[in-house]
Chains A and B, each alone.
Chain A
Amino acid sequence: MTDPTPNDDHQPLVRVVDLKKYFPIRQGLIIQRTTGNVRAVDGISFEIARGETLGLVGESGCGKSTAGRTLLGLYPATGGSTFIDGRHVQEAAGDDWMLIRRQAQMIFQDPYASLNPRWTVNAIIGEPLRVHHLIDAEAARIERVTELMALVGLDGRYINRFPHEFSGGQRQRIGIARALASDPIFLVCDEPISALDVSIQAQVVNLLEELQDRLGLTYLFIAHDLSMVRHICDRVAVMYLGVMAELADKDDLYEEPLHPYTQALLSAVPVPDPKVARRRRRIILEGDVPSPINPPSGCRFHTRCPVAQPHCSTYIPEWREITPGHWVACHEVEPKFRPGPFSTS
């Protein structure tokens, strides 16, 4: 793998190459043997362009959150690599590592668990400033924290308050302000709105969009709410049981899903319109998601797939580009057009 030169605007900001993360299942009192692996992420690849929002969707247990944490280097990867702005995350150390920790930040799902309950808002938002010695003077740091609070729509007068004094939506804003403190270029948003009430979700989503416009941020938006993903993302990747099922521009994916899993997933999303709801055909999948400890052979979806063929249980489907920018891993999808021998592209 050749390293792209850093800060090249034409390169994707984030490149994930065959990323794997297994969680070993250990047994034994002192000497622990590995008796199995939870294959949470089992070889995923994608790229995120500068200023883009990539959605990563899938059902619980599909490995989307683990993927987000592993690609940031917060979990050691079992295999594969991530490049953020040209830096190899898994091999970074020292200054390189700290630079990645400044440039790439995370926004969490649970606004209650992601803020230290014993710290004031000032200490929480100021932590990146302290850790990276961006602002060491106390007064200047308070000024910057107040600025960040204003940026996310919080009143700076509450700077000395504790997280429990804020509502869920406000806490999420505190978490966003902390993520922005070190002037990052890339944010992994791990289900940032799923713990919030409907009327608050739109506030947070709009805030994220405004911040992206203002600060030129790049997002990886991990979520299970497919409606919101369609709204906020540019491209969307669908994961199933640790592997990629489909990746495409959002409107492509939502209007012409190719993978049977994507089709079922999209058809199951409720639409807030009774007329549409009555008309819609739903593909009801049978059964549950199999265990990631012993994932099914061949195509991992074949146990629930409505169009599965015998060979699906034997051969792992190739991750291929069916039309430009539309990737899918399924045996049963035919390329709609093959570039002819005289094709110019």
Chain B
Amino acid sequence: MNPLTTPRFNVSAPDSRHVLLDIRHLQVRFHTPEGTVYAVNDISYQVHEGEVVAIVGESGCGKSVSMMSILGLIPVPPGEIAEGTAEFMGTDLLTMAEDKLEAIRGSEIAMVFQDPMTSLNPVLSVRRQMTEALRRHYGMTGEQATNRAIELLELVGIPDPARRLGNYPHQFSGGMRQRVMIAMMLACNPSLLIADEPTTALDVTIQAQIVELVMRMREQLGMALIWITHDLGVVAGLAERVIVMYAGMVVEEADVDSLFDKPRHPYTMALLAALPRVDRRRDSRLKSIPGAPPNLLVEPRGCPFAPRCEYVVDRCLHERPPLLAVSPTQRAACWVTTGDPAFATSNEFRNNSR
């Protein structure tokens, strides 16, 4: 067995590549018996061709909902896309007819979920599920489709693919099922792969396998990748650009090195300070973030992180900070750390952002 090194890639300036997905002012709400849940509150970001973007945030921050909503995968009602556009290769997904959107989901955009069992049909063999898509999209004959399916399973590292093809989803382990899922997604050679917490349910050694596999596939096939996760460690290992979400808003967006070196939003700073490190000796207690994420049943006002923020000023409570550029590759939504250059270079700030 060969110890594999983490794939290394050249981080080119994102602007030099074409914009693949362009989300602007997206707002998603859910109307529930308890009231309106403000799930996604006016977020905008872009993903370029071949780019690896990670969307990070805690549960309920809207990271999954924002993706699901642009692909038409949230139930409406209770869901509602109140505002916004999401252009994919120049056409708005939000105004697209259902059948066209479905065609895009099957070919151009592929999704891998946390629990592959929800997207695999438990009563059909893997062969049936894989060949059906190949025959439908590429007009392959049964034999061609089977051969291609075996190839794909081999590509994702499933041992003895010809035999395993006849198995049913429950006969695979969690990690293997995720591989099958990825193979199925690769069948149509998408230009964007959205991975929604694909390794959260897996053990670290299996997680490493899947991360390695996805990155290898991306390098071979050149697709863009959106990796949705709560794990900053995974992000550091794979992303080129990172989008940090909190309470349905984007609070920081940066290239991966800037984000971990010089986080500019207090939430990002606090998250990093709250993380223990496996590769370092302990030096002090973890810095904990007091309180809990805000209740999304209340219409957002001001900065959502203000109640838990140690730099909070009066303005934060009333006025929502926009995403302000602090460098060509980094933007943060904070009145304090982006607005006041003197503060950003002060010792207090430096110490806190390690």
* A–B direct touch in complex (beta carbons closer than 8 A): yes
A→B interface (CB under 8 Å): 59-60, 167, 169-170, 197-203, 205-206, 209, 224, 226-228, 230-232, 251, 254, 264-278, 280-289, 306
Asked whether B237 lies within 8 Å of A271 as measured between CB atoms, the reply is: yes
Asked whether A274 lies within 8 Å of B278 as measured between CB atoms, the reply is: no
Asked whether A206 lies within 8 Å of B286 as measured between CB atoms, the reply is: yes
| Minimum Cβ distance to chain B for residue A310 (Å) | 16
Q: Using an 8 Å CB-CB cutoff, how does the interface string of B262-282 with A read, 1 for contact, 0 for none?
A: 000000001110111111011
A199 and B289 in contact, given A282-B208, A284-B209 (Cβ under 8 angstroms): yes
Asked whether A277 lies within 8 Å of B207 as measured between CB atoms, the reply is: no
Asked whether B257 lies within 8 Å of A197 as measured between CB atoms, the reply is: no
Cα of A200 to Cα of B274 in the assembled complex, Å: 9
Asked whether B209 lies within 8 Å of A269 as measured between CB atoms, the reply is: no
A203 and B6 in contact, given A269-B204, A271-B277 (Cβ under 8 angstroms): no
Partner of A270, one of B3, B233, B308: B233
Partner of B6, one of A169, A209, A277: A277
| Minimum Cβ distance to chain B for residue A54 (Å) | 16
Cα of A272 to Cα of B276 in the assembled complex, Å: 9
Cα of A277 to Cα of B256 in the assembled complex, Å: 11
> Interface residue count for B (Cβ, 8 Å)?
51
Asked whether A266 lies within 8 Å of B278 as measured between CB atoms, the reply is: yes
Asked whether B204 lies within 8 Å of A59 as measured between CB atoms, the reply is: yes
B123, CB-defined interface residue at 8 Å: no
Cβ-closest chain B residue relative to A167: B292
Residue among B175, B256, B282, B292 with max Cβ neighbours from chain A (10 Å): B292
B136, CB-defined interface residue at 8 Å: no
B130, CB-defined interface residue at 8 Å: no
Cβ-closest chain B residue relative to A250: B282
B140, CB-defined interface residue at 8 Å: no
Given A278-B8, A284-B1, 19 other A-B residues pairs in contact with their CB atoms under 8 A: A169-B292, A199-B270, A202-B286, A202-B288, A203-B288, A203-B290, A227-B233, A227-B277, A232-B276, A254-B278, A268-B204, A269-B233, A271-B236, A272-B277, A273-B277, A275-B260, A277-B236, A284-B205, A286-B1
Q: Given the complex, which residues of A lie within 8 Å of B204, measured CB to CB?
A: 59, 224, 226, 265, 268-270
A272 and B5 in contact, given A198-B271, A202-B288, A231-B282 (Cβ under 8 angstroms): no
Which secondary structure dominates where chain A touches chain B?
Answer: helix
| Minimum Cβ distance to chain A for residue B301 (Å) | 21
Partner of A282, one of B159, B212, B274, B282: B212
Cβ-closest chain A residue relative to B277: A227
B29, CB-defined interface residue at 8 Å: no
B327, CB-defined interface residue at 8 Å: no
Q: Given the complex, which residues of A lie within 8 Å of B74, measured CB to CB?
A: none
Asked whether A285 lies within 8 Å of B288 as measured between CB atoms, the reply is: no
28 pairs of residues in contact across A and B, judged by CB atoms under 8 Å = A167-B292, A170-B292, A198-B230, A199-B271, A199-B292, A199-B293, A200-B289, A201-B274, A202-B289, A206-B285, A224-B204, A227-B275, A231-B286, A267-B3, A267-B208, A269-B204, A270-B204, A270-B231, A270-B233, A271-B279, A272-B236, A274-B257, A277-B236, A282-B3, A282-B5, A282-B212, A283-B3, A284-B212
Asked whether B289 lies within 8 Å of A288 as measured between CB atoms, the reply is: no
Partner of B288, one of A206, A287, A288, A289: A206
| Minimum Cβ distance to chain B for residue A192 (Å) | 14
A276 and B58 in contact, given A199-B271, A206-B285, A268-B208 (Cβ under 8 angstroms): no
Asked whether B58 lies within 8 Å of A197 as measured between CB atoms, the reply is: yes
| Minimum Cβ distance to chain B for residue A165 (Å) | 12
Asked whether A251 lies within 8 Å of B8 as measured between CB atoms, the reply is: no
B102, CB-defined interface residue at 8 Å: no
Q: Given the complex, which residues of A lie within 8 Å of B342, measured CB to CB?
A: none
Partner of B237, one of A167, A201, A274: A274
Cα of A227 to Cα of B275 in the assembled complex, Å: 8
Asked whether A224 lies within 8 Å of B278 as measured between CB atoms, the reply is: no
Asked whether A230 lies within 8 Å of B232 as measured between CB atoms, the reply is: no
Asked whether B288 lies within 8 Å of A269 as measured between CB atoms, the reply is: no
Q: Given the complex, which residues of A lie within 8 Å of B159, measured CB to CB?
A: 287
Asked whether A198 lies within 8 Å of B4 as measured between CB atoms, the reply is: no
Cα of A201 to Cα of B260 in the assembled complex, Å: 20
Q: Given the complex, which residues of A lie within 8 Å of B233, measured CB to CB?
A: 227, 269-272, 277
B352, CB-defined interface residue at 8 Å: no
Q: Given the complex, which residues of B lie within 8 Å of A267, measured CB to CB?
A: 3, 208
Cβ-closest chain B residue relative to A201: B274
Top-8 shortest CB links A-B: A270-B233, A231-B276, A268-B208, A202-B274, A59-B203, A202-B288, A197-B58, A277-B237
Asked whether A274 lies within 8 Å of B256 as measured between CB atoms, the reply is: yes
Q: Given the complex, which residues of B lie within 8 Å of A203, measured CB to CB?
A: 288-290
Cβ-closest chain B residue relative to A261: B205
| Minimum Cβ distance to chain B for residue A115 (Å) | 17
Cβ-closest chain A residue relative to B1: A306
